[in-house]
A and B are shown apart, each in its own frame.
Chain A
Amino acid sequence: MKGFLKRLSPFAPDNSGVVSALFEFGGLIAVCDAGGCTGNVCGFDEPRWFTMRSAVFSTGMRDMDAILGRDHLLVDKIVSAQETVKAPFAVLVGTPVPAVIATDFKALRRMAEKRTQVPVLTIESTGVNYYDKGASKAFEMLFDTFAVENLPVEKDSVGILGATPLDFSSCQAGKFLADSIDKKAYVYGMGAGLEAVKHASANERNIAVSPSGVAAARLLEKRFGTPWKMASPWLPEELLKNCSSLAGKKVLIIHQQFAAAALREKLLAAGADDVACATFFMTEKSLTAPHDRTLKEEEDLAKAVEEFKADVVIGDRMFKKVLPDFQGGFIDFPHFAVSGRLWENL
């Protein structure tokens, strides 16, 4: 049945993806909700929330706000909070409530910009899509708004786009990604902040390390001619160690597409017989191999394993719940957007 989950629990939604992408840029982030969505984001989907202060707020919508569309009250609240936070920009994040009442985000943006005198980004997430869609929109809008100045290219500088703990399952991913590149790396949103975004045109090239980074990479290519590629330059050592004896095996990797594709390359190089990737999330055609598949429903996962006749499945261990009859090997590859597990807490 469409949308029915018997064994899995819901993956991170698009509004979490928006907050995750923008968490470290110093903006005032207002989630347009009644409180529960912000609670989900801060209490569950944003592991940095407990160690790093960021101005993430709920707009605290109530039934009459939704019914009467009291946008001016929302703008009053933003103006008042901005007096405290003094953020360089503000973000309004959509949730199911504004989606149902068809909030006019463009009008909200104009009203809020006029009164706060800072740029206001409005991201119309709905809470029904996956995190990557929200993160992608957020990165794209951030660069569209702030990466406007055409600067001379800085030799050996690399912009890393699409890094979030939701994708990389580690709060240290920014450091690991930067260390994995032999150049001056700016990991946007996990180490590199708003000033680095403003100087993005100086990058010699960009790397989209997850599907969430692709739209921003394309934007920067179009605006400044910055070449880019898709890659996932960091895979955890522990994972590679656990995958060290898969020569001759048929392996199915279930993860975010870029991470899965990077692992596939390593496994094939180490002698795996065949490796397919499956994902519930966004995909890029150029990284898709013939056996790869996009999963929609919970039961698609078991079908994918059966049809590929996998000897070994690599994926977040939450997926094991859907594979009670699978007799092959299973290697845990945590995906925070799936299970909320971090490598550092394993």
Chain B
Amino acid sequence: MADRYYFISAGELAAKGADNIPDELIGNKHLIYSSPATLAFNSPGAQGFGVKRAGLAVPDSVMLLVAPRCCGRNTSALAAPGNLGERFFYLLLDDTDIVTGRHLVRIPEAVAEVCKSLPAPPSAVMICITCVDALLGTDMERVCRKCTEKAGVPVEPCYMYALTREGRLPPMVQVRKSVYSLLKPLPKRSDAVNVLGFFTALSEECELRFLLKQAGVNKIRELALCADFNEYLEMAEANFNIVLNQEARYAAADLEKRLGIPSVELTRLYQLDKVQRQYLLFAAAIGVQFDDKVYYNEAAAAVENFMKSHGNISISVGEWLNGDPFELTLALLRYGFKVPEIFGTVGEGNFVWVKKIAQLSPETRISSNLSPTMMLYKDNEIPCDAFIGKDAGYYHPGVPGVNWNGESQPFGYAGIKALFTELDTVLTAGKEKK
């Protein structure tokens, strides 16, 4: 009988192996505790970027949510004037609709009504459907074609099928394909690339852009930076795509198949030498050389200065952040910091980091935010000097730290530099207060 929250040490977990991860760390093996620390994972739409907000990444598009009212409820949070609220429309289902699927015949009419109500036609209408249509087996592609015929604008489906979260194509993978699905073939430009993976832009300081410029790439496009639909359509002229989030692999594969744009994948890392190595391999793959010394040195200096100012402090790491908590933990350990605990979701993909963490800090505790036993986690139960990640902050009220989950996307050396600079600011302010 549980009388405290569940954790396992990195050493024990590594010894068990990726095939024997305990049930307590696997979301679908227990009820899911939706604490404020974990809302972003259990229900991405509740906080952060869910399918609804992501679907609207296509410039000048609008969204029609076709669902029971409960699925669209939290969209009210986006309804403030000037926010995305003006781009959302709803066709709410009743008891009969959800059993018979009779709502499907009303969708084209609703799309036409949406277009009529706007001062100018939208670039596209994204139709967001939910678990109900997943269970009804709705052929949404067909419904969308009917809508296009009726309304005369492109209509694309966005599948918010929460039931398929652990499937091959979870909602956040599908929606990444949806947002690029309106691109049509264009002649290729050898000096153009797209950055795929995020719905918001890379941080302004990110060196990736500067390194690509060095290599002669003049057009670096990101969905979030497309000022209008025409600029969005120009993404089709890219010579190749750079995938920065593995959830965009499926979209990249689709773009390769439809538009002949190949892709290369880079990972967001916080270990300096791994970032350097990744750039080296990337440059070799595209047949250029990057001069990244200055960026490397800046990031290294940020880490070093932080260590000088604050020493080898202990840092609690969560997963509600821009990065993989296990890779970030490994980076922190390798820089000389202590990490007493990690709140994260372990899977095959990141188990490699767990093994390395186990070598450096076998006693580090690993817990799942989703476990019902997290109700028993007492505030600051495991003492730490700082936290990284909004969820880790929830468990450590009063402790200084950074949420590190902002919309400006950190990457590469600039990400490392920004993380330590932000942490330094917060910790220094804390010291001054004392």
Contact = CB atoms under 8 A, between A and B. Distances in A.
B20 to A, nearest CB: 19
29 contacts: A1-B91, A3-B90, A3-B91, A6-B89, A9-B79, A39-B42, A40-B43, A42-B34, A42-B39, A43-B46, A43-B74, A50-B36, A57-B33, A58-B32, A58-B34, A62-B166, A63-B134, A63-B161, A77-B29, A80-B372, A84-B372, A96-B71, A99-B95, A100-B98, A100-B99, A101-B135, A128-B98, A130-B69, A339-B79
Contacts of B67: 96
Given A13-B69, A39-B39, A4 B91 contact: yes
Interface in A91-150: 95-97, 99-101, 126-128, 130
Interface in A35-56: 35-40, 42-45, 49-50, 53, 55-56
B93 A128 contact: yes
Given A77-B31, A84-B373, A96-B98, 11 more contacts: A3-B93, A4-B113, A9-B85, A10-B90, A15-B70, A39-B45, A39-B47, A49-B36, A57-B33, A61-B163, A81-B30
Interface residues of B, number: 68
A261 B159 CA distance: 42
Interface in B1-43: 1-2, 27-34, 36, 39, 42-43
Contacts of A56: 34
B114 interface: yes
B223 to A, nearest CB: 24
Contact of A127 (B71, B113, B372): B71
Q: Which of A49, A95, A97 has the most CB of B within 10 A?
A: A97
A45 B95 CA distance: 22
B75 to A, nearest CB: 5
Q: Which of B77, B91, B131 has the most CB of A within 10 A?
A: B131
B88 interface: yes
B72 interface: yes
A42 B165 CA distance: 19
Contact of B75 (A9, A12, A85, A318): A9
Given A62-B163, A83-B2, A36 B34 contact: no
Contacts of A38: 32, 34, 42-43
A128 B69 contact: yes
A57 B89 contact: no
A10 B113 CA distance: 18
B130 A81 contact: no
Nearest to A12: B73
A344 to B, nearest CB: 17
A100 B135 contact: yes
A289 interface: no
Nearest to B81: A321
Given A34-B131, A36-B160, A44-B73, A80 B31 contact: yes
B364 to A, nearest CB: 23
Given A3-B94, A6-B117, A81 B372 contact: yes
A43 B132 contact: no
B59 interface: no
Contacts of A81: 30-31, 372
A6 B160 CA distance: 20
Given A1-B109, A16-B70, A33 B39 contact: no
Nearest to A14: B70
A98 B403 CA distance: 36
Contacts of B36: 42, 49-50
A11 B93 CA distance: 13
A8 to B, nearest CB: 8
B371 to A, nearest CB: 9
Contacts of A4: 89-92, 110, 113
Interface string B135-168: 1100000000000000000000000111111110
A30 interface: yes
A10 B162 contact: no
A340 B46 contact: no
